Amino acid sequence: MTTGPTGKRLPRAVREQQMLDAAVAVFSRRGFHAAGMDEIAEEAGISKPMVYAYLGTKEELFVACLHREATRLMEAIARVVEPDLPPDEQLWRGIRAFFGFVAGHRDGWGVLYRQARGQEPFAAELAGMRRRMIEVVAGLLERAVTRAADASGGTGAKRPAPGRDLTAMAYALVGVAESLADWAAEHPDEDAEVTAARMMNFVWLGADARLRGASWRPSTCRDSPAA
Amino acid sequence: MTTGPTGKRLPRAVREQQMLDAAVAVFSRRGFHAAGMDEIAEEAGISKPMVYAYLGTKEELFVACLHREATRLMEAIARVVEPDLPPDEQLWRGIRAFFGFVAGHRDGWGVLYRQARGQEPFAAELAGMRRRMIEVVAGLLERAVTRAADASGGTGAKRPAPGRDLTAMAYALVGVAESLADWAAEHPDEDAEVTAARMMNFVWLGADARLRGASWRPSTCRDSPAA
DNA sequence: GCGTAACCCTACTTGCGGGTAGGTACGCTG
DNA sequence: CAGCGTACCTACCCGCAAGTAGGGTTACGC
């Protein structure tokens, strides 16, 4: 009775949201497989066939949850990033929005996202979202690199090339965000703002330097003590 | 018949390894839930009750797989990192070993690892491994920071403190590695060595600067256009 | 060569949970 | 107040895969 037994008849749109809320909660604490449709129905204060009538199959339901949460996340970020700001400012805002969202939607994130990777039916869906995210970040990086080039008369040395390098870097950035989201989940006392700052500190110093053409040298020896 | 129908009777230790190989393969391509014990048994060239006799329940079997692969990974890294080397060299070696392992054990990594997160029964097991990994990295960072302090007469400004900051950074590092492992999985043509170099470039420039006390300033405005 | 213990199989049971058939109550429109 | 559509329910089905019973066969020690 989490959503509360409204007792009364509700229009479809409302019930659907309630069901999604319930589903997110249950999937989150049980995992996709262990979650039961009955349990979800009960949590939504409704009975099973309703769920099937409105949201379809268990898989479809999960995808619906995933979709809703992902969209919300994207929007939360998009709402804050204005494309004319300097790259670091954009990144900073994006990151803040991200951790803010994650802090606010513990279960929405926690398991939906974690769950979806690897679980074949959903991997695709999730990968799409992730890809969009990464493309956005990669675009940001690209603008940052051209900007840096303009600023300091272009000695186009071994600055990262637009293609592979930047996408890889975008992956890395997203990876940092995801991992720090986990860290934040384990330390609920930490403020989202602080986590965001931590990430920015770690990430921007390196990214900025790298985008300007700096790099790390493999130092001395080529080691390889057997395989 | 992947492992090949040996036809003959084999000592327990051998069969167990064959079963684990088969299980890793099947779990990897189907996911935990969709994988069937029959299928695993068939892949191992053996029949189901054997699997139960030797490795127990499906869950236990999965944990066994996870455990074996994780141990191998840890060992592959530990084998290469010598604690007396300079921090960046250690990191570099560790990262190389990591991506090398992942490239070699595509399925061992791919799904076992991805699968385990979120799936309640295994989350704990996996979290343990991850934690050990992170502690190692955090330790590395800590030695790096004291080292940096010694080198440049300690103007102990706002260098990251031993506790929270470093652990968070370790999380970030591990996150980068995981995420780039995904990227590498999607681009099989990329050499592990190259991916490792990419990561090092991205990560060390930032980490090094940060460990020396550099930081990023929140720039100008405190934005927040509503929630 | 013979017992015994470890390997290994075919064939079954079982229960859980996704999915559905069919019927009831409520409210809105005329 | 007749009638209709939509929200909603109870009660059931049934397939699938995890897990097991019980029996056969090969190797190895003595």
Mind listing the pLDDT tens digit for each residue in B152-179? 654 545 566 667 889 999 999 999 999 9
CB–CB contact B118 A120 (8 Å):
no
Protein CA at B34 to nucleotide C1' at D16, angstroms: 11
Contact A210 B205 (CB under 8 A): yes
Please tell me the predicted confidence (pLDDT) of residue A176. 96
Q: How many CB atoms sit inside 10 A of residue B140's CB?
A: 21
Give residues with Cβ within 8 angstroms of A87, minimum separation 6: A140, A141, A143, A144, A147
Average pLDDT, chain B: 85
Which protein residue has its CA closest to C1' of D26?
B9
A31 touches strand C (CB under 7 A): no
For residue B1, name the pLDDT band (cuts at 50, 70, 90).
very low
The mean pLDDT value for B122-132 works out to: 87
pLDDT of residue B5: 46
**Is B154 an interface residue toward A (CB < 8 Å)?**
no
pLDDT of residue A145: 84
The Cα–Cα gap between B21 and B35 comes to: 14
B93 CA – D12 C1', rounded, Å: 62
Tell which wins on pLDDT, B13 or B153. B13
pLDDT band at A222 (very low <50, low <70, confident <90, very high): very low
Instruction: Calculate mean pLDDT across residues A161-171.
Output: 83
pLDDT band at A144 (very low <50, low <70, confident <90, very high): confident
CB-based contact A171 B182, cutoff 8 Å: yes
Q: Chain-wide mean pLDDT for chain A?
A: 85
- Cβ–Cβ < 8 Å for A181, A99: yes
Residues A220, B102: Cα–Cα separation, whole Å: 25
pLDDT digits (tens, 9 = 90+) for A3-25: 444 557 899 999 999 999 999 99
pLDDT over threshold 70, residue B209 = yes
Query: Chain B: nearest CA to A197, how far in angstroms?
Result: 8
Worst-scoring range by mean pLDDT, A52-56, A84-88, A171-175? Answer: A84-88
Identity of the amino acid at B140: L
Query: Does at least one atom of strand C sit less than 7 Å from the CB of B12?
Result: yes
Q: Is B27 on the interface with A (CB under 8 A)?
A: no
Number of Cβ within 10 Å of residue B59's Cβ equals 12
The whole-model pTM stands at 0.87
- C1' of C23 to CA of B90 (Å): 71
- Quick one: pLDDT band at residue A226, thresholds 50, 70, 90? very low
Q: For residue A53, how many other CB atoms are within 10 A of its CB?
A: 10
Model confidence band, residue A197 (pLDDT cutoffs 50, 70, 90): very high
Q: What is the pLDDT of residues B68-120, one digit of tens each?
A: 999 999 999 999 999 889 988 999 999 999 999 999 998 888 777 888 887 87
Interface check for B33 against chain A (CB to CB < 8 A): the answer is yes
- A112 vs A69: CA distance, rounded Å: 8
Across the interface, of A177, A179, A197, the residue whose CB is closest to B174 is A179
pLDDT of residue A124: 82
Interchain proximity B183–A167, CB inside 8 Å: yes
Listing DSSP states for chain B in one string gives: --S----S---HHHHHHHHHHHHHHHHHHH-TTT--HHHHHHHTTS-HHHHHHHH-SHHHHHHHHHHHHHHHHHHHHHTT--TTS-HHHHHHHHHHHHHHHHHHTHHHHHHHHHHHTT-HHHHHHHHHHHHHHHHHHHHHHHHHHHHHHHHS-----SPPPTTHHHHHHHHHHHHHHHHHHHHHHH-TTS-HHHHHHHHHHHHHHHHHHHHTT------S-------
Distance A34 CA to C17 C1' (A): 10
Mean pLDDT of A52-61: 95
Residue B209 contacts A, CB cutoff 8 Å: yes
Is B163 in CB contact (< 8 Å) with chain A?
A: no
